[in-house]
Amino acid sequence: MDKGRERFEETAIIIRQEEIAEGIYSMWLHVDRIAEYARAGQFVSVYCNDGSRLLPRPISICEIDALDGAIRLVYRVAGKGTDEFSFLHTGQQLRVVGPLGNGFPQKRKKAFLIGGGIGIPPMLELARQLSCEKQIILGFRDELFLLDEFREQGKVYLATEDGSAGTKGNVLDAIRENGLSADIIYACGPRPMLGAVKGYAAERGIECWISMEERMACGIGACLACVCRSRERDAHTNVKNKRVCKDGPVFRAEEVEL
Amino acid sequence: MSLKTELCGVTLNNPVMTASGTFGSGAEFSEFVDLNRLGAVVTKGVASVPWEGNPTPRVAETYGGMLNAVGLQNPGIDLFIERDIPFLTQFDTRIIVNVCGHSVPEYVEVVERLADQPVDLLEINISCPNVREGGIAFGQDARMVERITQEIKRHARQPVIMKLSPNVTDITETARAAEAGGADALSMINTLTGMKIDINRRSFVLANRTGGLSGPAIHPVAVRMVYESARAVDIPIIGMGGIRTAEDAIEMILAGATAVAVGTANFTNPGVTMEILAGIRSYMQEQQVGDIRELVGAVHE
């Protein structure tokens, strides 16, 4: 069964975990083949230890250390499952399946890397892997996180809702205020942000890739829980629906309805 | 020791199969499960034409369970015959196609299209709680169950399994009605209709408002319904509903199920069917059971 296999079920061991902003946790996991195969923009399914919680939590991969067999997950505590994860310490175990989804394509074009809120973490590994000219635009509600890591990868522009750092407003306000331009956009963040970024890219004819989020069950493309509306009939589903977990989470912006 | 079991003249290598809608047509899970080791793969429901399904969110977790309202999204019978059936025929497992429709002629159309296909059994979904027409509306009325079963039997080449809804006062009424209509087997239970409300937003968690409850939370209900039905009818029963461990599967068999289907547990552990199969084997060794069929309905009265 291993021939051609790209997804694995592993028992991960927690290397370390810390809270990096209020309710935002950073967890380094020791994994084996998941780290070896993972690409920027992919995610993993993390299973709860509490048996009453049946569904895996899909969490994007923030950093990949293939050499040491480790991945970093940065997640927000959004419910009981992620709350359970936040109490885990070094040496404890978690069942993980991955890497899942398609990840970002990587092109040698002057790029915007746009992250909003808990959509920021997956942009870090992409920033590390892209060797072209890149401008990183991050939108926060208030408290900042992962800033030092991003600054090592390129010029960072900030937008905050309350104006406490960078541009007061959203990521597009930051782009305009700083007079930035790009030939390709990679973005991950809340639905309204993705919609605005898609519109911005369409107006200017810029190639744009967005990473989507949806409630999932199986995480591997079988159950059809996590679909998004697509412009064209999808070859697999045979309807105007794409599976976020399998065909995504990264889509060409014009492929999907927001 | 034999795990072989028989359903309507079709021999299964073992009694462990997948529950419709949780396993696609097996392709995605084949990275985690050796499909050759499953008694059968039961496909996600397929209709005469592609269905888009319901808006999202389509799933929500509950304590020990989950709600789904996928709404039978499916690619339609044409693509299914072209792609899914040839995929499954590569494996040494039985193929059970779950059939859905909005009306009797729609079910019949799918059944007729499958007539010359290498499919072992048909499972007719008259119990989906997430679609307005067809589905559960057909499965809650005993007279309707009998009439649909008769109509499908008239056109089907393969043995017909009627999948029953637990959202009824007395499951033995619909079980008897399906048998009277000529069903070759029954499968039960489909999901129980449920609802979840987000108290912070004061809104329904599922876009469809209601959804089907599945998972360990419903297992005792399923065991009871399999037991009652097994005493009421003479046709075999495929038991499903919250099976997560070998113990759950054996309980279902002792209650009267000839085979069992594993659904929601595939989401919690993609390789769970293999673990359940291994667990059944060890139980049989410990209890010195030579043939799995000795266990069917073997709960002491």
The distance of B176 to chain A (nearest Cα, Å) reads 31
8 A C-beta contact, residue B41 and residue B218: no
Question: How far lies B277's CA from each of A55, B6, B105, in Å?
Answer: 22, 16, 38
Q: Taking the CB of residue A32, how many other CB atoms lie within 10 A of it?
A: 13
Burial B39-77 (b: 16+ CB within 10 A, else e): bbbbbbbbbbbbbbbbebbbbbbbebbbbbbbbbbbbbb
Q: How far apart are CA A250 and CA A44, in angstroms?
A: 14
d(CA B20, CA B123): 9
At residue B135, the pLDDT reads 67
> Which residues of chain B fall below pLDDT 70?
130, 132-135
Residue A151 phi, psi dihedral angles, 5° rounding: -65, -25
User: Cα–Cα distance between B15 and B11 in angstroms, integer?
Assistant: 10
**Is B273 an interface residue toward A (CB < 8 Å)?**
no
Q: What is the pLDDT of residue B136?
A: 73
Q: The tokens of B73 are what?
A: 């999204």
B70–A223 CB contact, under 8 Å: yes
- How many Å apart are CA A252 and CA A232, to the nearest integer? 12
CB contact under 8 A, B66 and A238: no
pLDDT of residue B137: 74
CB contact under 8 A, B56 and A214: yes
CA dihedral B118, B123, B129, B131 (to 10 degrees): 40
Q: CB within 8 A of A196, min separation 6: which ones?
A: A170, A171, A172
Architecture of the domain defined by A214-258: Ribbon (2.10)
Q: How far apart are CA B90 and CA B87, in angstroms?
A: 6
Amino acid (1-letter code) at residue A238:
N
Which residue in chain B is spatially nearest to A246 when comparing CA positions?
B28
Question: Hey, is B271 helix, strand or coil?
Answer: coil
The CATH number, out of the four listed (3.40.50.300, 3.40.50.80, 3.40.50.720, 3.40.50.1820), of the domain defined by the range A104-210: 3.40.50.80
Tell me phi and psi for residue A185, to 5 degrees.
-125, 135
Helix (H, G, I), strand (E, B) or coil at B230: helix
CA distances to A109, B10, B186 from B150, rounded to whole Å, are 64, 21, 14
For residue B268, list chain A residues with Cβ-Cβ distance below 8 A: 47, 54-56
B238, β-bridge pairs: B187, B259
B52 touches chain A (CB under 8 A): yes
Q: Where are the domains of chain B?
A: 5-295
Predicted local distance difference test score (pLDDT) of residue B132: 64
**How high is the ipTM of this complex?**
0.94
DSSP reduced 3-state for B123: strand
* Number of alpha carbons in the 13 Å side-chain half-sphere of residue A45: 25
Interface check for A78 against chain B (CB to CB < 8 A): the answer is: no
Closest CB from B27, B30, B267 relative to A217: B267
3-state secondary structure chain A: CCCCCCCEEEEEEEEEEEEEECCEEEEEEECCHHHHHCCCCCEEEEECCCCCCCCCEEEEEEEEECCCCEEEEEEECCCHHHHHHHCCCCCCEEEEEEEECCCCCCCCCCEEEEEEHHHCHHHHHHHHHCCCCEEEEEEECCCCCCHHHHHCCCEEEEEECCCCCCEECCHHHHHHHCCCCCCEEEEECCHHHHHHHHHHHHHHCCEEEEECCCCCCCCCCCCCCCEEEECCCCCCCCCCEEECCCCCCEEEHHHECC
Q: How many CB pairs under 8 A join A and B?
A: 116
Q: How far apart are CA B26 and CA B22, in angstroms?
A: 9
Low-confidence ranges of chain A (pLDDT < 50): 1
> Residue B299 in contact with residue B254, Cβ under 8 Å?
yes
CA angle B54, B60, B65 (to 5 degrees): 125
Spatial strand order of the sheet with B210-214 comes to: B59-62, B65-68, B210-214, B192-195
Residues of B with catalytic annotation?
128
What pLDDT score was predicted for residue B138? 81
**3-class DSSP assignment, residue B210:** strand
Residue with tokens 């959202």: B167
pLDDT of residue A1: 44
What are phi and psi for residue B117, nearest 5 degrees? -95, 150
Q: What is the pLDDT of residue A246?
A: 97
CATH superfamily of A3-100: Translation factors (2.40.30.10)
For B5-295, CATH gives 3.20.20.70
Quick check: A246 contacting B, CB < 8 Å?
yes
A54/B66 CB distance under 8 A: yes
How many Å apart are CA A145 and CA A116, to the nearest integer? 11
- Where in chain A are all domains bearing CATH 2.10.240.10? 214-258
